[in-house]
Amino acid sequence: MKIKNVTANQLTAIVDEVSREQYDGNIIFKRYPCQIGGFIHFTLRVASSKDDGAKVSASGRRSVALCWHGHRDVMQAIFDAHPDAILVTAMARYEGAEGFDDTYPATGDQNIGSMMQPLSYRDACNC
């Protein structure tokens, strides 16, 4: 992901707070925030695939990838604190808090499974 109009320290504080308060500290950075051009680039994951926020495949296999709900909660906290933030992910571009509110719910319906075992992004966890 990449973000604009938020500093690396602000981003780290938000991720730490959401992780601690909602996911028992399980959300961590896979790629720590670093400035590249006008954006700060970062990647989130979970520390334990057995705890809250871990993504689960259609076959039930757990991974350290952060689930849809974890991403949603972090992004919601970012836009609550910085409504003018611009956040770009592999699934969407969110321009400000209003853009996030309008766009994010539909990303949960995207199929991340296969044709034989479809799985919507929002169902790929135990949240």
- Sign for the CA dihedral angle at 63, 18, 85, 13 comes to negative
103 inside domain: yes
- pLDDT value at position 86? 98
The whole-angstrom separation of Cα 78 and Cα 98 is 12
51 inside domain: yes
- pLDDT value at position 49? 96
The whole-angstrom separation of Cα 77 and Cα 63 is 24
- pLDDT value at position 36? 96
The whole-angstrom separation of Cα 125 and Cα 62 is 8
- pLDDT < 70 positions in the chain: none
103 exposure class (CB count in 10 Å sphere: 0-12, 13-18, 19+):
middle
121 inside domain: no
Number of domains comprising the chain:
1
Q: What residue type is 98 in one-letter code? A: E
106 inside domain: yes
- pLDDT value at position 113? 87
- pLDDT value at position 127? 85
120 inside domain: no
The per-residue DSSP string of 56-77 comes to E-TT--EEEEEPHHHHHHHHHH
Find residue 4's DSSP bridge partners. Answer: 86
Task: For residue range 38-59, list pLDDT tens digits in order.
Answer: 999 999 999 999 999 999 988 8
122 inside domain: no
- pLDDT value at position 4? 98
Domain range for 7 is: 2-113
